[in-house]
Amino acid sequence: MTAKISYDDVEVGTELPARTFGVTRATLVQYAGASGDFNPIHWNEKFAKEVGLPDVIAHGMFTMAEAVRVVTDWTGDPGAVVEYGVRFTKPVVVPNDDQGATIEVSGKVAAKLDDNTVRVDLVAMSAGQKVLGMSRAVVRLA
Amino acid sequence: MALDQSFVGRSYPPTEPYEVGREKIREFAEAVGDANPAYTDPEAAKALGHPDVIAPPTFVFTITFKAAGQVAQDPQLGLDYSRVVHGDQKFVYRRPVRAGDRLTVTSTIEAIKSLAGNDILDIRGEVHDEAGEHVVTAWTKLVSRAAEGA
């Protein structure tokens, strides 16, 4: 496992390059197929509204997958992630148009830990709301 | 009605082995729009020290989710699965999942809580490879929302 970033080069507060990820209805269909999660709240507007949602929403696990890309793009080696957890606080609502929704993710080093690992705290926003809470990854650096 | 606390600590039999394929990893990486070559190019993965292509960190949920579903849909437990939402998710990795892995999941109910009529279930899934080595542990919090007017 070979992260591109050296433990000695980062300090608490080091910011990771922020990213914006798009998600459309087509993305959700593709993710449903790849993940095996075919819950209709992720593709059927009528069903989503019947269960009290404003519209079709993205899979929480899709948002979780996008958020950690800020970490894996930074380290180069996705295998350097040793721990990753999130709380699903708000859904990402995905309208039925060409634009869809966007998920903005930023991250910074919150703590330097033992064994060349650091904790990165992530913030994921969509439509001005925080969609993940307690979003943290521990990653082993070079 | 609150769920039976006696289910806390209960473990379920390991799932049948799931064989992780290169094409399945590729499909998942494309679905999340991630072009990291470690997911698709064995040489790129080897350059990082892996024996074969590895899966994105959240890929393993596709396996642990099914295992957690078996627990949540245990008729004896009596959780209203139609009202379940995903509350929290956490993974602790011993190593990344990679192509060729044959993975089994052993699920255990870690906690049962009832808050404002919501049933909250914490399930731990221990993922092992064919050699019996631990690969990753997944903690899944499922919340069965209270029915309106209940």
Name which of A126, A140, A128 is nearest A62 in CA terms.
A126
> What pLDDT is attached to residue A13?
98
Give the count of beta carbons closer than 10 Å to the beta carbon of residue B80: 14
Q: Tell me how far the alpha carbon of residue B147 is from its chain's centroid.
A: 26
Whole-angstrom Cα distance, residue B19 to residue B98?
10
* Amino acid symbol at A86: V
> What pLDDT is attached to residue B149?
52
Note the pLDDT tens digit of each residue in A92-133: 999 999 899 999 999 999 999 999 999 999 999 999 999 999
- Partner-chain residue, chosen from A1, A73, A84, that has the shortest CB–CB distance to B91: A84
Cβ(A88)–Cβ(A16) below 8 Å:
no
Whole-angstrom Cα distance, residue B146 to residue B116?
8
DSSP letters along B64-130, please?
HHHHHHHHHT-TTT---GGGEEEEEEEEEESS--BTT-EEEEEEEEEEEEEETTEEEEEEEEEEE-T
Note the pLDDT tens digit of each residue in B105-139: 999 999 999 988 899 999 999 999 999 999 999 99
Cβ(A5)–Cβ(A74) below 8 Å:
yes
Tokens of B120: 């909250």
The pLDDT of residue B150 is above 50? no
Q: What contacts B111, CB < 8 A, 6 or more positions away?
A: B8, B120, B121, B122
Give the count of beta carbons closer than 10 Å to the beta carbon of residue A89: 16
Report the percentage of chain A scoring pLDDT > 90.
Answer: 95
CB contact under 8 A, A21 and B27: no
Q: B 67-126 residues with CB below 8 A of A?
A: 85-93, 95-96
Q: Which residues of B touch A36 (CB under 8 A)?
A: 62, 65-66
> What pLDDT is attached to residue B120?
95
- Chain A and chain B share a number of CB contacts under 8 A equal to 106
DSSP H or E run through B21: none
Considering only residues B15 and B116, tell me which one the structure prediction assigns the higher pLDDT: B15
Whole-angstrom Cα distance, residue B103 to residue A112?
32
Give the count of beta carbons closer than 10 Å to the beta carbon of residue B28: 23
CB contact under 8 A, B33 and A64: no
Distance from CA of A36 to the nearest CA of B (A): 7
Q: Which residues of A touch B28 (CB under 8 A)?
A: 34-35
Q: Does A102 touch chain B (CB under 8 A)?
A: no
Instruction: Look at A78-82, B119-123, B142-146 and tell me which has the smallest mean pLDDT.
Output: B142-146
Distance from CA of A125 to the nearest CA of B (A): 17
> Taking CA atoms, what residue in B is nearest to A29?
B31
Note the pLDDT tens digit of each residue in A19-41: 999 999 999 999 999 999 999 99
Name which of B48, B101, B41 is nearest A4 in CA terms.
B48
Choose from B84, B86, B140 for mutation: most chain A CBs within 10 A. Answer: B86
CB contact under 8 A, A83 and B93: yes
CB contact under 8 A, A87 and B88: yes
- HEC per residue, A49-110: HHCCCCCCECCHHHHHHHHCHHHHHHHCCHHHEEEEEEEECCCCECCCCCCCEEEEEEEEEE
Average pLDDT over residues B79-84: 85
- Cα distances from B121 to residues B9, B70, B72, B81, in angstroms, run 12, 13, 8, 11
The pLDDT of residue A48 is above 70? yes
Q: Does B27 touch chain A (CB under 8 A)?
A: yes
Q: Report the mean per-residue pLDDT for chain B.
A: 94
Whole-angstrom Cα distance, residue B127 to residue B134?
6
- What is the complex's ipTM, to 2 decimals? 0.96
- Cα distances from B129 to residues A81, A127, B45, B87, B133, in angstroms, run 19, 40, 19, 27, 5
> What pLDDT is attached to residue A78?
97
Average pLDDT over residues B11-21: 97
CB contact under 8 A, A72 and B49: no
Q: Does B30 touch chain A (CB under 8 A)?
A: yes
Report the percentage of chain B scoring pLDDT > 90.
Answer: 83
